[in-house]
Amino acid sequence: MNANQVFPYQQHKESFQNTVGMFFFLLLVETSVVFLLIGIFAKDMLIRNGLFVLAGALLILVLGWMISPLWTRHSLSATHLHLRYGVGLRADIPREQLLSARLVRERHDPMQAIAAQHEEKTERLRIALSDKGQVLLRLAQPVLFRFWPNGGGAATSILLNVDDPERFLSALALPEEVIRQIPTFQQERKADSPRTPLAFPPPDSAPLALHSEGLHRQFGGFAAVRDLSLAIRRGEIYGFLGANGAGKTTTIKMLVGLLEPSAGRIFLAGHDVWAAPLAAKAALGYVPDSAILYERLSAREFLAFLGHLRGLPADESRARAESLLAVLDLTGRADEPCGSFSYGMKRKLSLAGALLHQPAVLILDEPLNGLDPRSARRVKDLFLELAAGGTTIFLSTHDLATAESVCDRVGIMHQGQLLAEGRADEVRQLTNAPDLEAAFLALTAEQEVAA
């Protein structure tokens, strides 16, 4: 145990490399301009050469600093965790300061990866190159980090990447009770795989519109979704609930054909999403968790583009777009560029885009995020109208009150598995909880203890 165990990070560096490439290009252009100016204005040979050397050295120094995170090598000794991130951060944390650790996958801004970052709000030290292989370490008490050039600050958690996060977790050898709270994928699989959800059967009056069998998605050693089977009928509103990182967005990406499952099959309106993708996608309307728009187009032009893309007749596309703009209260701003819209307006426009071709199945990832109460009410009413007309709605949300009031059935995801499924009152009965929020908390807490 005396020798240090080294944990480098050599994988998934593409986005970082692209960012560095961008800066390198800019630096190269700027240095060329500086060289040109020196060549033009510095007449004295000695001064000119001196300035050339100075500018070249500065370029090499800055470039070296920028690419240094590529050689990230954290290590673990008997007494300390040694963090090494680029040339800016060198920190040694006593192992008794480490409280817990878990695998995470957090959104990542490659611009921030160039140097260590301190997030003041969350008291977090961020030394991650990508969103893959991330480990979140929690510290027993705030530790002061100093790094160049951002200064630093006190942190109670550290987000970092390692190539082999599971080896890193086991090497940390945290106290046993802590380890139990952060089970690795293999441990969980052995303990309880496959887990049968506490489910009530779906109403069987209507044909299945969205159906998955044994859906599974693995990212390296981490299973984001495990053995998920769903059966949602025509005209049903299904609430897909779960905490952050429960596997909701991964499931949705698989359902809409943006992510290939490691195992399992998905049927949309009777068509296999991966075997007959065009037929399945023709029946699909999708609203992602962030509004995806072409910001230089106006709202009206954006909807016209989507209608055109799906081959809707021009008149029909125009009429539906106008109707949706009116229903979602966007008519007054329909000729303004989408980029000037507020977050909530962008979300509404994204929803209008998904509804334009009157899809049989609507898959929505947090569609009510950022909407004002009046808009949220309108959208919920719209969901009820659509479902009454036969549209199937798969609604991922954190808002349990909305799920309880709007959804016919809900499914609760936790750590990639469906914990429970049924009508809101049925799920409440499972834990004798007064409302869905209490049921959700009780069910997910039970699962933590069982693990």
* For another protein, the closer CB: 104 or 297: 297
User: Of 260 and 435, which has the nearer Cβ to another protein?
Assistant: 260
Among residues 124, 226, 233, 281, the one that binds another protein under rule CB under 8 A: 281
- Among 294, 319, 381, 401, indicate the residue that binds another protein (CB under 8 A): 294
Beta strands in 12-133 (DSSP E): 73-76, 80-85, 89-94, 98-104, 117-119, 124-127
Q: In what order do the strands lie in the sheet with 5-8?
A: 5-8, 73-76, 80-85, 89-94
Residues 206, 236 contacting (CB under 8 angstroms): yes
- 433 vs 448: CA distance, rounded Å: 18
Candidates 217, 233, 320, 409; binder of another protein (CB under 8 A) is: 217
Amino acid 324 reads L
Contact between 87 and another protein per CB under 8 A: no
Q: Which stretch binds another protein (CB under 8 A): 161-169, 170-178, 186-194, 273-281?
A: 273-281
- The site string for another protein over 346-375 (x = CB under 8 A, - otherwise) reads -------x----------------------
Q: Provide, rounded to whole angstroms, the least separation between the CB of residue 232 and another protein.
A: 18
**Amino acid at position 264, single letter:** G
- Range 47-76, binding another protein (CB under 8 A): none
Q: Which two tokens stand for residue 387?
A: 């479902």
* Comparison of 178 and 259: residue with beta carbon closer to another protein: 259
Minimum CB–partner distance for residue 105 and another protein (Å): 10
- Binding string, 103-142, against another protein, x = CB under 8 A? ----x-----------------------x-----------
* Pairing of β 271-272 and β 263-268: antiparallel
Residue 150 in contact with another protein, rule: CB under 8 A? yes
CA distance 159 to 157: 7
Q: What does the alpha-carbon distance between residue 68 and residue 360 come to, in Å, rounded to a whole number?
A: 51
Report helix, strand or coil for 76.
strand
How many CB atoms neighbour CB 283 within 10 A?
19
Q: 410: exposed, middle or buried (C-beta count within 10 Å: 0-12, 13-18, 19+)? A: buried
Give yes or no for residue 292 binding another protein (CB under 8 A): yes
Among 181, 340, 405, 429, binds another protein (CB under 8 A): 340
| Contacts to another protein by CB under 8 A | 14-15, 17-18, 21-22, 25-26, 41, 107, 131, 148-151, 217, 219, 250, 253, 256-260, 277-279, 281-282, 284, 286, 288, 290, 292-298, 301, 304-306, 308-314, 333, 335-337, 339-340, 353
